[in-house]
Amino acid sequence: MKLINILLTLFLLGTASFAQNIVIQSGWQLKGTEAGFNHMDPFQQECINTVWVYDANSTKWEVFANSETVKAIISSSDLMNPLASIKQNDGFWINANADCNVTKPTGLPVDIQDQIDSNTSVLSQEVIDGLTYMGNEERLAFDIYNALFTLYPTAKQFTNIATNSETKHIDAVQQLLQKYDINDTELSNNTIEDMTAGLYTVPAVQTLYNLLYEKGSVSEIDALEVGCMVEVTDIDDLEKYMAQAQEINATDVVEVYQFLIEGSYNHYWAFDKGLKNKGVSDGCCSLGTIDGVNYCHPEYPQNTNGQ
């Protein structure tokens, strides 16, 4: 195990990473990626047998497999967890039965895009209002993480999450807003680049951004704590609005919200790890409860996509 960890470290330090397209050869090989894979759709092709990432925190291998037999072994093993994403700059082992290419997708996961494209619901006003609010809140996450990365450029969590994940979260909500012709939000008809970062039409989101930026600008530890706060707030709000969508059987909205929640679980643990690396032994739990909001959530799934 130690040898594998050393090899992974040497690879990432001394070898160029792969960004969009990864050339796979038959057999075993060690690869890396700058961009990361937020889901495993690109590996769901006949040439790929398994993909392995070692998680030093859990001291377990996270494994993706196309074989149902291997999936069952992974699920029942105490030594492995299912792999649902590859983080930016992770090294990973891959076993292939033939030469092929793996290309990082630029859009949403296939199942989420299918839900948006295929299912049409009759939305209540509270669900419409929820989409408007969550669109602004996802924008807030993107904006605050980019702003904090400018202040603390060594805290890569901020730019990784903003670039590789929050852009997809915004895209998912934006597609729903456009699908249902909800035009009472700036997000409805503008790209991220066209919107002014840190300015929102929803007063509650504007107030939250101002408070979070003020705290995050104090120190890098405060900034990482802001990350914990954003993700817990996001999960709490998404769960509330998802329940409203479930009541009217708006399956496309429910699936998008679940996708966002699963991403927020990942982000929470990324900030938790960042705090622990800075010597804050309790990570996000060091925040405790503030103004009635509990920021300590050891029950959150620690693997991607809630697995």
- CA gap 39, 16 in Å, rounded: 22
* Strongest mean pLDDT among 36-45, 88-97, 209-218: 209-218
Q: Nearest CA to 180 among 261, 245, 109?
A: 245
Model confidence at 106: pLDDT above 70: no
Mean pLDDT of 6-22: 42
Q: What is the pLDDT of residue 33?
A: 63
Model confidence at 305: pLDDT above 50: no
Model confidence at 139: pLDDT above 80: yes
110-306 CATH = 1.20.1260.10
Q: How confident is the model at residue 38 (pLDDT cuts 50, 70, 90)?
A: low
Q: What is the pLDDT of residue 5?
A: 43
Mean pLDDT of 3-7: 40
Residue in this structure with the two tokens 């920021």, named with its chain if needed: 295
Secondary structure class of 118 (helix, strand, coil): helix
Going from N- to C-terminal start, the domains of the chain cover 2-103, 110-306
Tokens of 231: 């993700």
Mean pLDDT, the chain, integer: 86
Model confidence at 35: pLDDT above 80: no
Q: What is the pLDDT of residue 14?
A: 34
- CA gap 105, 39 in Å, rounded: 9
pLDDT in tens, 48-71: 999 999 987 778 899 999 998 998
pTM, entire model: 0.70
The H-assigned helical ranges of the chain are: 2-14, 68-76, 110-118, 125-151, 156-161, 167-179, 203-216, 220-247, 251-277
Q: How confident is the model at residue 296 (pLDDT cuts 50, 70, 90)?
A: very high
pLDDT in tens, 141-200: 999 999 999 999 999 899 989 988 899 999 999 999 999 998 766 777 778 878 889 999
Model confidence at 201: pLDDT above 90: no
pLDDT in tens, 251-294: 999 999 999 999 999 999 999 999 999 999 999 999 999 999 99
Q: Which residues of 119-156 are buried (b: 16+ CB within 10 A; e: fewer)?
A: eebebeeebbbbbbbbbbbbbbbbbbbbbbbeebeebe
Residue in this structure with the two tokens 């060690």, named with its chain if needed: 30
